[in-house]
Amino acid sequence: MTGARHHIPDPLLVAYASGNLPHAYSLVVATHLSMCDACRVRLNAHQAVGGSVLESCGTQDLSGDLRQRVFDQLDDPFEEQPQFQRSGVFPAPVMEALGGLPPKWKSLGLGVRQSILSHDQGSSVRLLYIPAGQAVPDHGHNGLELTLVLQGAFRDETGRYGVGDLEVANDDLEHTPIAEDGETCICLAATDAALRFRSLVPRLLQPIFRI
């Protein structure tokens, strides 16, 4: 698939396999998995271990009422969900989050744009469009940020990230991502807290842009 060099850390992959990863991060992880054969193999291994653990657990009888409610739900008419495919640079998980429609880009200034896929008080996930050679304002983090490259590449204090690469940034990292020359950089980014900007203008605009 891709020649990714930066992959999903094991704790995040285990949380995803067990269904304990918040939605915003799950979308980024699912998208990386759709692009990376190596991480899919690792995911299968974690799921196999989880299955073995479940099989070793004891069983418990269900009440008749609970059993009947489960059977009633199984009898409900099944509503088939649309199957989304990759479109351009956007893998299937992103197309599903977009509802099969193109992103609705909104300007952040200096040619940088964003398309928010979901946002609540605890977390957000968005697409970022960064023109070649353009820098994102220097910032730190109040939580965890996952950034997956879908097109182009960027560099920051920690190295280079190309298509399929996942950067994991915590509250120890302060960085200035810069899109490489050539192709526009498009990323999928998820956070669980507001970013921490040094400059005054980004801080003033932060509530408007929900970053």
64 or 1: which carries more pLDDT confidence? 64
- Say whether pTM exceeds 0.85: no
CATH number of 101-209: 2.60.120.10
Angle 37-56/23-35 helices, nearest 10 degrees?
120
pLDDT-based confidence at 194, cuts 50/70/90?
confident
| Cβ-contact 106, 113 below 8 angstroms | yes
pLDDT-based confidence at 156, cuts 50/70/90?
very high
pLDDT at residue 96 greater than cutoff 60 = yes
What's the rounded mean pLDDT across residues 165-184?
Answer: 94
State the alpha helices, DSSP H only, in 76-199.
92-97
| Average per-residue pLDDT for the chain | 87
pLDDT-based confidence at 204, cuts 50/70/90?
low
Q: What percent of the chain has pLDDT over 70?
A: 79
pLDDT at residue 83 greater than cutoff 60 = yes
Spatial distance between the Cα atoms of 142 and 134, rounded to a whole number of angstroms: 24
Spatial distance between the Cα atoms of 129 and 10, rounded to a whole number of angstroms: 28
State the alpha helices, DSSP H only, in 57-180.
64-75, 92-97
pLDDT at residue 84 greater than cutoff 60 = yes
Q: Is the dihedral of CA 6, 10, 12, 18 positive or negative?
A: positive
Q: What is the dihedral of CA 129, 153, 99, 143, to 10 degrees?
A: -80
pLDDT-based confidence at 76, cuts 50/70/90?
low
Residues β-bridged to residue 178: 135, 155
Q: Report the length, in residues, of the chain.
A: 211
pLDDT at residue 78 greater than cutoff 60 = no
118 or 50: which carries more pLDDT confidence? 118
pLDDT at residue 26 greater than cutoff 80 = yes
Report the Cα 133 to chain-centroid distance in Å.
24
Query: What is the token pair recorded at 137?
Result: 């304002």
- Boundaries of every domain in the chain: 101-209
> Vertex 103, ends 125 and 127: CA angle to 5°?
30
Query: What is the token pair recorded at 18?
Result: 């067990």
Residue 71 CB neighbours (<10 A): 9
pLDDT in tens, 132-153: 999 998 888 888 999 999 999 9
What is the SS3 assignment for 104? coil
